[in-house]
Structure 1
């Protein structure tokens, strides 16, 4: 096994060599398609260490029944001294048991690779653009943005670990009516900062106190020049000023979660550069946009609906239920029209696109996927495009709904959350459920010191390992790989759990599901805690064994590598591994 190769990849190569030998013998036809052959842990650990479906998926090509082919594969596999047994199960699955030295070598591989253990070349340097958060720049980051922010950032890190080049992008929605409302709201606070009594914030404006410092900054910047000027004079200026200041707030809020984007793309800049016009021209050239009239909306009568000819994108060609307008009747771009041009811009620089959206955007997934499919197809490429929908989070405190933030006026900010429970707790907790599932975030439960709190349970495993190593150092003991052959079956069981990590990284990256890493870490932590607890009943199973310095140092080496894997997994999630609790 090479230095950078994990145990599953090594045995996949061994199996591949066996299948090549069977081709040479004539048992398998030349150039047999092996794409669906897998080597993975059996569902039931009592069945062995590894399992392969090779005989099941290749039997048809071999014109054989699966069990007969399995017998021939097993005959070859049993010649390998690293395989202690190869058994056929059911209709033709093959279960393998490995010699202990195979797992010892994997433990050494963890130590050798260190922080790089679990990293993969699977992505082969392909460029993936992940757009996440992309909130309107009209207020601070709140809980409606938090989960998507964490999922997107963890996914970016996961794909980097799997060998992709990742661009983290934030699309600034700085064009449209909501930004004009922001500018007017800031102008109110600007007048207030200059001493005017503005009274109650008018309905339709943004009322939060977070705009007070923005108004003061505007007063410092402009003096009283725009107090009495007509709106047409100050609106563009205040729009740009307000967006810039709010983006500073947003970046600061995201930084509390450890999130930094590589690229901020402006919708206003996109429109100023005539990108939507270019996209429309290209789509018309390829007969993907035409002028037409939408069907009458359901529930509307003839009196309150007037047919209007609009430029329509042929999204039905790509599976949508109706064609979609890219412009409004007043000539302004629809959100979809601008978004289409934005995705066209992204597709020019990436091999694959991923968007992280709130679940309330579910209705627009089909049409934007249709647009990207059209653009990539027309350009002679196929751009993989995935949209991940993230459900909202319900905030609780001891089971009761959380009161709203004073700072924002009507929502709890990310800064509020991080201030109370810490970045790591927020990030890990957001990844303890699939993003498409509803989630409760209970401020009391996420800081509980219990097995039921995954954040604590995983952090405690790492802190416990660090504590053991400190205690060992005080007793003049240190981790050592000199006597790893002394490790027993319970020790090997723990190594087997740690050895799952590289394949979990690749599986999670393929599925675009970073929460799988959080699930894996919980299972690894549980395995370590169970391993540690064995010593409570049997002194010979303790990590530091009084009667044997050699065995103690071997188990300390094992514990140290479990800590390494936990750190590596937490790094993907953007969570620090604590030294003590």
Structure 2
């Protein structure tokens, strides 16, 4: 049940009747007509822009359209007020039974309330995390992992067929550095002094890799030239790092559907095939780029390279895909990887990258547009930095990692549920402060506590009602007389519940899971406000002397809890039933 969609349907039906009756021209495009909450709740329950967006194509004054539309809508028993405001906005007030009927709809649907089919089963690939397999995941990966996983849950809830994918960057020079670093730990395991020179990875996390290499090879690789052991040690160390990363993700509650390897693109013809596809479209050529901005002619040497004409698809400059020495640039395998996703039949691609990939956005969008003929949209979400604090000081680096705070550090300190929720309390492109003291405190200023406390209060009501002998199974609550929910504070909570299906669709259309966290905080605020008023106004308390009245009021609390649980499931957070 999406009440906003239902009322929009009433508006478009009324506009259709007006056209049929000659009050509007026939054939008007109604796609821009919306129904949404008014900016000021005092103006009504819902507002429609119908008159404003139709005035110009209809050749009519917007207030004239709004006045005629109001008359049509007042024939609908769900609408008890339709007031024209300003230049032609139409504010609507709904009859109390419309709001009260939400309780039954929520309890019937359970946590599926708000589920949508706007995705129409389209296949979407969400690539996220994709950390280099050179060590444990750090705090920056935490936020990207949470955003990607919550977005996956959100789109699945809204009707998309979602694939979570991790792209293993195992084809570049960084895995050779990993191998050399692991080899030094292997030497250490054999009783030799490791030479952790500058440029190698110093973290203690490679000590177990060295020990595992010793167990496999004994001392057989000691004093052997690099060409003898590099490939084997690289594969061995990469495998152990990926196992560590999988365990890190599991600690955060993230499970990938697919792991794709960059290395698998080399020597298989996939890179060549992607580039030839672009060449066939006239988008590959040999040329010389202009000097990069900030470079003087003395600092730059013009060289002929193989270039992708990415400017034909919205990029600022054309991009090299092959160097003058004949080797591929880092961009070439990324083109091939996205071409692979296009060929796998996805209808939409989403990449979630760190903020340092800002210069990558236009070129990758250009490549996907060219390779899919514009059929497959690519949305790239950039994740801004997370700053960690504890006791008013920056959280110190992990000795185990050597240079950064790991995912495990954060999860072990704060817990997976708290970590996930807090990571979604800001939009992905805004920096986020993560203060360990604040995220664990029990106050309204801590959004995860405030939402969890609301759910715990709902469960507390159910327990007290059962102790009082009141039947509070969902079937009993659905059978209650919800017309008793007539107080403005109760209606306000119902109105917030009514926003949930609309919120799901808006958040999914914009790929913005943080909206769910914001909404849950607002919903919790309405429940807490009603609860607190009940301390002074006994008629607002959920458990009353009259069992039938109690059931009606408890049904409202239970409906609120159902929506909170549905939202927390999208965020990947386990609801708390009792605060301790």
Question: For the superposition of Structure 1 and Structure 2, which TM-score range results when normalised by the shorter chain?
Answer: over 0.9
Cα shift at 1:571: 0.5
Map 1:159-174 to 2 at 5 A: 159-174=155-170
2:425 corresponding residue in structure 1: 432
Higher mean C-alpha deviation, range 335-344 or range 114-123: 335-344
2:547 corresponding residue in structure 1: 549
For the residues of structure 2 that align with 1:249 and 1:134, how far apart are their CA atoms? 13
Asked whether 1:130 is paired with 2:126, we answer yes
Among 205, 209, 212, the alignment partner of 2:204 is 209
Map 1:352-501 to 2 at 5 A: 352-377=348-373, 381-479=374-472, 480-481=477-478, 482-489=480-487, 490-501=489-500
1:333 corresponding residue in structure 2: 328
For the residues of structure 2 that align with 1:55 and 1:299, how far apart are their CA atoms? 52
Asked whether 1:506 is paired with 2:505, we answer yes
For the residues of structure 2 that align with 1:144 and 1:103, how far apart are their CA atoms? 42
* Deviating 4+ runs (over 6 angstroms): none
SS in 1 for 2:266: helix
2:514 corresponding residue in structure 1: 515
Cα shift at 1:541: 1.6
> Where do 5+ consecutive residues of structure 1 fail to align?
none
SS in 2 for 1:311: strand
- Whether the aligned pair in 2 keeps the contact of 1:478 and 1:556 (CA below 8 Å) is no
Map 1:100-249 to 2 at 5 A: 100-198=96-194, 200-249=195-244
Map 1:80-99 to 2 at 5 A: 80-99=76-95
Q: Residue by residue, what CA displacement relative to the aligned partner does 1:92-114 show, whole Å, maximum 9, x if unpaired?
A: 11111111111122121111110
For the residues of structure 2 that align with 1:564 and 1:288, how far apart are their CA atoms? 53
Cα shift at 1:331: 2.5
Cα shift at 1:313: 0.8
1:539 corresponding residue in structure 2: 538
Cα shift at 1:423: 0.3
Cα shift at 1:301: 5.5
For the residues of structure 1 that align with 2:66 and 2:306, how far apart are their CA atoms? 60
Q: Residue by residue, what CA displacement relative to the aligned partner does 1:487-528 show, whole Å, maximum 9, x if unpaired?
A: 122212111111100100100111111101100000000110
For the residues of structure 2 that align with 1:486 and 1:319, how far apart are their CA atoms? 58
Alpha-carbon RMSD across the aligned residues, in angstroms, is 1.4
Q: Residue by residue, what CA displacement relative to the aligned partner does 1:403-442 show, whole Å, maximum 9, x if unpaired?
A: 1112111111111111111001100000001111111111
TM-score normalized with structure 2 length: 0.96
For the residues of structure 2 that align with 1:68 and 1:321, how far apart are their CA atoms? 47
Cα shift at 1:302: 5.3
SS in 2 for 1:416: helix
2:71 corresponding residue in structure 1: 75
Relative distance call for 1:55 and 1:422 in structure 2 (3 A) is: same
Relative distance call for 1:299 and 1:505 in structure 2 (3 A) is: closer
Q: Residue by residue, what CA displacement relative to the aligned partner does 1:201-235 show, whole Å, maximum 9, x if unpaired?
A: 11111110101111111222222222232211211
- Whether the aligned pair in 1 keeps the contact of 2:103 and 2:482 (CA below 8 Å) is no
For the residues of structure 2 that align with 1:472 and 1:195, how far apart are their CA atoms? 68
1:573 corresponding residue in structure 2: 571
SS in 2 for 1:272: coil
SS in 2 for 1:500: helix
SS in 1 for 2:174: helix
Cα shift at 1:387: 0.8
Cα shift at 1:258: 0.5
2:561 corresponding residue in structure 1: 563
SS in 2 for 1:387: strand
1:308 corresponding residue in structure 2: 303
Q: Residue by residue, what CA displacement relative to the aligned partner does 1:232-285 show, whole Å, maximum 9, x if unpaired?
A: 121111111111110000010011111111111100001232211111112122
Relative distance call for 1:485 and 1:375 in structure 2 (3 A) is: same
Cα shift at 1:382: 2.0
For the residues of structure 2 that align with 1:110 and 1:156, how far apart are their CA atoms? 23
For the residues of structure 2 that align with 1:191 and 1:333, how far apart are their CA atoms? 34
- Whether the aligned pair in 2 keeps the contact of 1:27 and 1:62 (CA below 8 Å) is no
2:7 corresponding residue in structure 1: 11
> Where do 5+ consecutive residues of structure 2 fail to align?
none
- Whether the aligned pair in 2 keeps the contact of 1:133 and 1:170 (CA below 8 Å) is yes
Relative distance call for 1:197 and 1:478 in structure 2 (3 A) is: same
For the residues of structure 1 that align with 2:514 and 2:436, how far apart are their CA atoms? 20
Higher mean C-alpha deviation, range 179-188 or range 481-490: 481-490
Count of residue pairs the alignment pairs up: 572
TM-score normalized with structure 1 length: 0.96
Higher mean C-alpha deviation, range 504-513 or range 333-342: 333-342
- Whether the aligned pair in 2 keeps the contact of 1:276 and 1:341 (CA below 8 Å) is yes
SS in 2 for 1:163: coil
- Whether the aligned pair in 1 keeps the contact of 2:221 and 2:229 (CA below 8 Å) is yes
SS in 1 for 2:350: strand
- Whether the aligned pair in 2 keeps the contact of 1:398 and 1:445 (CA below 8 Å) is no
- Whether the aligned pair in 2 keeps the contact of 1:472 and 1:478 (CA below 8 Å) is yes
SS in 2 for 1:326: strand
Relative distance call for 1:74 and 1:274 in structure 2 (3 A) is: same
Among 47, 55, 68, the alignment partner of 1:51 is 47
SS in 2 for 1:240: helix
- Whether the aligned pair in 1 keeps the contact of 2:118 and 2:158 (CA below 8 Å) is yes
Cα shift at 1:537: 1.2
